[in-house]
Structure formats: structure tokens, C-alpha cells
Structure 1
Amino acid sequence: MNILTIDVEDWYNCDFISRDFNWDNYEVRIYKGIDKILDELERRNLKGTFFCLGWIAEKHPDVIRKIYSHGHHIGCHSYQHELSFRFNRKEFLQDTSKSKNLLENIIGQPVNAFRAPGFSITESNVWTFEVLAELGFEYDCSLFPAGHDYGGYASYGNAEPAILHLPNGDILKEFPINFTKIAGKNIVFSGGGFFRLFPYFMIRYWAKCSPYLMTYFHPRDFDPEQPVIESLPLLRKFKSYVGLKHAFGKFQNLLDDFDFITVEQANKLIDWTQAKMLKL
């Protein structure tokens, strides 16, 4: 099962370090980036789940309309692209509901899938799932089922879809990220910096070995001409800008070599009566 997801954010939205939210001051590149992805998927008649920032929906609603008009599944990626564990419960509710309402007002349909920025739902803030269920979400794609820079969720077990049983009695269907191990380090090869860093033959091999593949790409991954955020620490800067020149070609190769579906399509294919269950 190979799931295609795109995180809809502009090149400056990825800065978790300086937390500079004066985004109106930055060059807008999201239109060109989204068009590049949509054209490629349209050519192949592929659909994906697009996790969209509420801030993008508010400032650039035509981007969301265009994605939806191409028949893609719209998900929520928070409003401000802040790491979830930096919020308390009230703040997370406000941020997420604001984004969900903005997206639903644009597409005229319920938004039922969520992904936290930076896979930042951890074992210390599982109350976020209760908020998501309260807001009407059915699917979550936020968990990193191992140790991670932003905490991770090591007790999750194997990277596979699961039903989360929440303390308040609600349930959510979880579609976690997957990874491979190199020298004891968890490497997410299906998107982001490591996808751009490693040669494609290695990406293809790891993907072939993965019965469940959750991808996550961003428009900025395929934009070698984007400005550089100079305030980023050296390692973070390397991860953010390595491999931009050849990333889109690798993306095209991945689409050639594998069949992809949306989160909603994956939901219909899974026998949830046989799926893993986690009590939180």
C-alpha cells in the first residue's frame, strides 16, 4: 500500500527554529510549486491527499480551490505550522479548528484528515487526538512510530495503519510515517530531506521492501531556486536545501515505479477488523 501525500506550505513555512511568523514579508512561490505537482499528477491520472496549512487557505485560497478542483483529497496541516507539543489543549483546539474551518469554507466539504507539522504528536500530548476527534477528524497521519527529533511515538510498534482508542471513548484511524534503519538511525526516505539526499536506487529499494509506504512531499522540495533562510542552524539548513536540483526527477521516477492512492482510498482497502488497535 503506497499513499501519496503533499504538505501544502510555502518555502518559508518550514522554519521551526526562529518561529518568525511575519510571513507576509516573504516572496510567494506556492502557486508555481503546486502547479508543478498538480500537472505531474494530472498527466498520470494520480490522486493524493494534500495536507494544507490554514494560513495558506486564508492568504491564498485559490491554491486550495485548484487542488480540490483536480479531484484531490484535502486534509488539514494546522493553521500556523507550529509544532503540536508547543501548544496547550486550548491553543491546539483554536489553531486546528481555525484551519479546518477555513479549508471547509473553501471546498464546501468536511475536512476529515489531519497531519501535525513535524510529526509532533508524541506520547506526552496524546490529548491532541481527543481534540481531533472532537473536531470531526476521522484520520490522522501525524505519528512517527520510533524516536524522532521532535519526540516520536516509540511505543507504536510497526509502521502500519491502526485504530487509536482514545481515553474518552472516541476512535481515530492512524496512518503513520514509515522509515528504514541505517546504523541504528531511523531514516524517513519517503519524503523531505532524506528523499532529496539519497540516490534514487536506494529510495526505490527501501520502498520495494515496505509493504506500507507513506510519502510526504512539499512544493519547496522541488524548487531549487527558492531563497535560503539564513537564520537556520547549519544542520537544519543542510536538511532543508540538500538535493533540491534533482528531487523532482526522483519524484517522477517514484511515480513511474509505484502505484499511489489517497488516505481515503487506503481507508477503503483496509480490513479494519484485522488492523492493529492501540489504547491510548
Structure 2
Amino acid sequence: MNILTFDIEDWYNCDFISGDFDWDKHEVRIYQGVDRILEELEKRSQKGTFFCLGWIAEKHPDVIRSIQKQGHHIGCHSYQHELSFRFDEKTFKVDTLKAKCLIEDVTGEEVNAFRAPGFSITKNNAWALYSLAEMGFKYDCSMFPAPHDYGGMPSYGEGVPKRIDVGDGRIIKEFPISIHQVMGKHIVFSGGGFFRLFPYWLINHWGKHSDYMMTYFHPRDFDVNQPVIETLPAMRRFKSYVGIKGAFTKFQRLLDHYEFYNVEQADEIMNWEIAPIVALKSLK
């Protein structure tokens, strides 16, 4: 099963370091970035899940409308791209509900899927999954089932879709990021910096040998003219800008070579009766 997802945020949202949320001062590049992606998907009658910031819905609602117009599944990516483990339970819920409501006000439809910025739901804030269920989310796509820069969730186990029993009779259907081991390091070849770094033949080889591939792309992954944030730490800067020049061509080839589903479509074809059930307490 191959799932196509996008995180809808602008070029400066690779910065998790500065804590600068004064975004109105930045050049706006999100419109052309999203339009370019939508054009490629329309050519192939392909549908994806677009995890959108509440801030985008508030400041640039036409971006959300353009995604909805083409019939894509729209999810929530927090309000202003703060890492989830920087919140406590109360503030996480405030931030997420704000984003959810802003997106729903634009689309007129329920938002039922969530992805944490930076895959930042970890064992230390696994309670966030219960909060998501309380807020009416059916799907989460935040699990990085291995060690990660922002913690990860090694206790999740095998990186495949699972049902998470969060308590009180509530279930979250989890579609985690798919990982691959290279020389003992857990990497994600189907999105982000490693997708941009590795040659397409290698990405295609890994993809063909994967029963489950969760992609995640950002408009900035393909934007060769975006400004560079000079103040990022060296490694973060490398990961943010490596391989941008050839990334869109690789993205087009991936769309041509694989059949993709959005999260709702994947839910419909999943045999959940045989999917593992994980208790929330086992993740902590």
C-alpha cells in the first residue's frame, strides 16, 4: 500500500529552532508551490491527503480551497507548526482545536486526520493520541517508529498501520511514516531530505520492495528559488536544502511508477480485522 501525503506549510517552516512565529514578514511562496503539486496530481487523476496548518487556513484560505476543489483529503498539521512535545495536554488541545476549526471553517467539512510537525508525538507525550480522539480525529500520521531527531516512537514496533486503543473505547487508526534501515540508521526515503538526497533508482528499488510506503512532501521540497535561512544549524540546513534542484523530477517519476491512495482511501481498503491493536500505555 502506497499513501500520498503533503504537509502544507511555507518555505520558512523548516525552522524549528528560533521560535520566531512572526510569519507575516516573510515572502509568500505557498500559492505557487501548492499549485505546482496540484497540477501534477490533476494530470494523473491522483488524490492525496494534505495536512494543512491552521495558520494557512487563517491567512491564505484560497490555498485550502484550491486543494479542496480538486477533491483531495484535507487534514490538520497543527496551527503554527510547533513541535507537539513542547505543549502540555491543555495547550496541545487548544492549538489543535484552533487549527481544526479554522480549516473546517474554510472547507465546510470535518477534518479527521492529523500529523504532528516533525513527527513529534513521542513516548513522553503519547497522551496526545487520546486528545486527538477526544477532538474527533479518526486518523493520525505522526508516528516515526524508530529513534528520530525529535524523539521518535521506537515502542510502536513495526512501521505499518495499526489501531491504537487510547482508552475509553476510543480507537485511532495510525498510518505511520515508513522507515528503511541503511547501515544501522533509520531513514525515510519516501519524503523529506532523504528523498531529495538519494538517486531515484535507489528510491524506486526500496519502494518496489516495500509493502507499505507512506510519502510526505512539502511545497518547499521542490522550490529552487526559496530564500535560505542562514541561521539554521549546519545539519538542519543541509537536510532542509539538499537535493532540491532535482526533487520535482523524482516526484513526477514516483507518481508515474506507483499507485497511490490518500489516507481515507487507504482506510477503506485496509483489512483492519487483522491489523495489530496497540494499547496507548504500551507506547509510553
Residue of structure 1 equivalent to 2:109: 109
Q: Which amino acid aligns with 2:266?
A: A
Return the alpha-carbon distance in structure 2 between the equivalents of residues 164 and 196 of structure 1: 32
Percent sequence identity is 65
Corresponding residue SS for 2:203: helix
Residue of structure 2 equivalent to 1:118: 118
TM-score (norm 2): 0.98
Q: Which amino acid aligns with 1:48?
A: G
Residue of structure 1 equivalent to 2:7: 7
TM-score (norm 1): 0.99
Return the alpha-carbon distance in structure 1 between the equivalents of residues 182 and 273 of structure 2: 33
Residue of structure 1 equivalent to 2:193: 193
Q: Which amino acid aligns with 1:85?
A: F
Per the TM alignment, residue 126 of structure 1 is displaced from its structure 2 partner at its CA by: 1.0
Corresponding residue SS for 1:124: helix
Q: Which amino acid aligns with 2:156?
A: Y
Return the alpha-carbon distance in structure 2 between the equivalents of residues 272 and 247 of structure 1: 34
Per the TM alignment, residue 14 of structure 1 is displaced from its structure 2 partner at its CA by: 2.0
Return the alpha-carbon distance in structure 2 between the equivalents of residues 14 and 199 of structure 1: 22
Residue of structure 2 equivalent to 1:98: 98
Return the alpha-carbon distance in structure 2 between the equivalents of residues 23 and 206 of structure 1: 37
Return the alpha-carbon distance in structure 2 between the equivalents of residues 128 and 243 of structure 1: 33
Return the alpha-carbon distance in structure 1 between the equivalents of residues 169 and 229 of structure 2: 44
Return the alpha-carbon distance in structure 2 between the equivalents of residues 168 and 8 of structure 1: 32
**How large is the Cα RMSD of the aligned pairs?**
0.6
Corresponding residue SS for 1:166: strand
Matched, 1:163 2:155: no
Per the TM alignment, residue 169 of structure 1 is displaced from its structure 2 partner at its CA by: 3.1
Q: Deviations over 1:8-40 (max 9, x none)?
A: 000012210112111000000000000000000
Residue of structure 1 equivalent to 2:22: 22
Corresponding residue SS for 2:204: helix
CA contact (8 A) 1:14 1:81 kept: no
Q: Which amino acid aligns with 1:61?
A: P
Return the alpha-carbon distance in structure 1 between the equivalents of residues 273 and 168 of structure 2: 21
Q: Deviations over 1:27-86 (max 9, x none)?
A: 000000000000000001000000000011100000000100000000000001000000
Residue of structure 2 equivalent to 1:87: 87
Moved over 4 A (4+): none
Per the TM alignment, residue 243 of structure 1 is displaced from its structure 2 partner at its CA by: 0.5
CA contact (8 A) 1:130 1:168 kept: no
Per the TM alignment, residue 158 of structure 1 is displaced from its structure 2 partner at its CA by: 1.1
Q: How many residues align?
A: 280
Residue of structure 2 equivalent to 1:143: 143
Q: Which amino acid aligns with 2:37?
A: I
Per the TM alignment, residue 167 of structure 1 is displaced from its structure 2 partner at its CA by: 3.2
Q: Deviations over 1:134-186 (max 9, x none)?
A: 11000000000111111111011111100000133311000000111111000
CA contact (8 A) 1:83 1:117 kept: yes
Residue of structure 2 equivalent to 1:252: 252
Residue of structure 1 equivalent to 2:219: 219
Residue of structure 2 equivalent to 1:262: 262
5+ residue gaps, structure 2, are none
